[in-house]
Structure 1
Amino acid sequence: MTEIRTPRLVLRRWLDDDLAPLSEIQADPAVTENIDDGRPYSLERTAEQIEVWEEEWDEEGFGMFAVELLGSGELAGAVGLSVAHAPGEVAGQVAIGWRLGRAFWGQGYASEAAHATLEFALQDRGLDRVVAVCRTGDRASVNVLGKLGMRAESTARHPVHGHEVTVFGIDLTQYEA
């Protein structure tokens, strides 16, 4: 079982007990406004998503981690890697992404978890490049991406949802652990 510990967090695979707290996090419109179509997730949609994430772990050797607070064991959200499907210019590349409950915003958890995930991708999994697809105007995510050393490379229109996205990228030669 893949697990990463940071000073304040545990990044780990998904457990059955994670469904209810993640569903509560993803039912918050503020959490989902910059994800996919922006609509909150139902319990069923969250369960399907965890299943897809776990399948990706089994097939690819990476996926979305559950983000747990080290001290309390509370689920803060998700961070991890997935194979990008859109926009077309990054389809098939490995993308980093995250979502944390609103109670965990502004405390550096997203940056801490994302940094550990990027290190995992480039050093442990041997990837040469990682991308991120961010809804244009999502300042909080852009801030985290900047802390990771990722740079904006292009903009595109999301082929399914129609909103503008910015593509960020970093390769192994640009990465500073």
Structure 2
Amino acid sequence: MNGTIERAGEGAPVIETERLILRPWADEDREPFAALNGDPQVMRYFPSVLERAESDAMVETARQRVLEDGFCFQPAAIKESGRFIGFVGLNRPRHALPFAPCVEVGWRLSRDAWGHGYASEAARAWLRFGFETLGLEEIVSFTTVTNTPSRRVMERIGMERDEAGDFDHPALDPEHPLVRHVLYRLKAEHWRRMQTAS
């Protein structure tokens, strides 16, 4: 996979792929991020759209997680133009998930970035960072059962469904239509085999 990894001043990684820059949060990301989080189509697999204050709070949380963990969900920008298209990254979930502690890979992209393979490209770069730089033994991903687009990305990057690990998300009401989540896993050993085969 094409890519380079550096560390920014605050410790957040800067990862370059063929078409993208995965970089730390900047204040100018707040407005396009809020627009993304306020888009009902982007947020259709989440409980609700976010207000501006909620979106800004996500940025601050991500920055804090970098200080605590050394990584978190970070902006993805088009390399040629610098245009912000959403976030991709690794995260240590704080919810009481049945398979915790764990590190997840996740993404949220604006509608105009869909269908170009950006989520897969960025996620693969973050998997490399997780397995090669952080030395993780496993990375997981999860989403609501009906989120077929994200599930396709999980499968495209080599993750495998753990049906026995499907769960009700503890942050949602048990009666919420999105409460049931599917779990995907990728072991470091499997990831290394994929790199050898590619």
Q: Where on the TM-score scale, by shorter chain, does this alignment land: which range?
A: over 0.9
Q: Is 1:172 paired with 2:188?
A: yes
Q: Is 1:67 paired with 2:83?
A: no
Alpha-carbon distance in 1 for matches of 2:19, 2:80: 7
TM-score w.r.t. length of structure 2: 0.85
Alpha-carbon distance in 2 for matches of 1:85, 1:15: 24
Q: How much has 1:125 moved relative to structure 2?
A: 1.3
Q: Structure 2: state its 5+ residue gaps.
A: 1-7
Alpha-carbon distance in 2 for matches of 1:140, 1:86: 24
Alpha-carbon distance in 2 for matches of 1:59, 1:3: 17
**CA displacement, residues 29-66 of structure 1 (integer Å, 9 cap, x when unaligned):** 1111223x2x1111111110011001111110111110
Query: Which residue of 2 is the match for residue 157 of structure 1?
Result: 168
Q: Which of 37, 53, 57 is the matching residue for 2:66?
A: 57
Alpha-carbon distance in 2 for matches of 1:48, 1:120: 25
Query: Which residue of 1 is the match for residue 20 of structure 2?
Result: 9
Please say which structure displays the higher CA radius of gyration: 2
After TM superposition, the structure 1 = structure 2 runs for residues 20-31 of structure 1, keeping only pairs within 5 Å, are 20-31=31-42
Query: Which residue of 2 is the match for residue 118 of structure 1?
Result: 127
Give the AA of the match of 2:34: S
Q: How much has 1:156 moved relative to structure 2?
A: 1.1
Structure 1 pair 150–105 and aligned structure 2 pair: CA distance change class (3 A): same
Query: Which residue of 2 is the match for residue 139 of structure 1?
Result: 148
Identical amino acids, percent of aligned pairs? 29
Alpha-carbon distance in 2 for matches of 1:74, 1:112: 16
Pairwise CA RMSD of aligned residues? Answer: 1.2
Alpha-carbon distance in 1 for matches of 2:82, 2:109: 15
Q: How much has 1:91 moved relative to structure 2?
A: 2.4
More displaced 10-residue stretch of structure 1: 146-155 or 79-88: 79-88
SS at match of 2:98: helix
Alpha-carbon distance in 1 for matches of 2:128, 2:45: 24
Query: Which residue of 1 is the match for residue 4 of structure 2?
Result: none
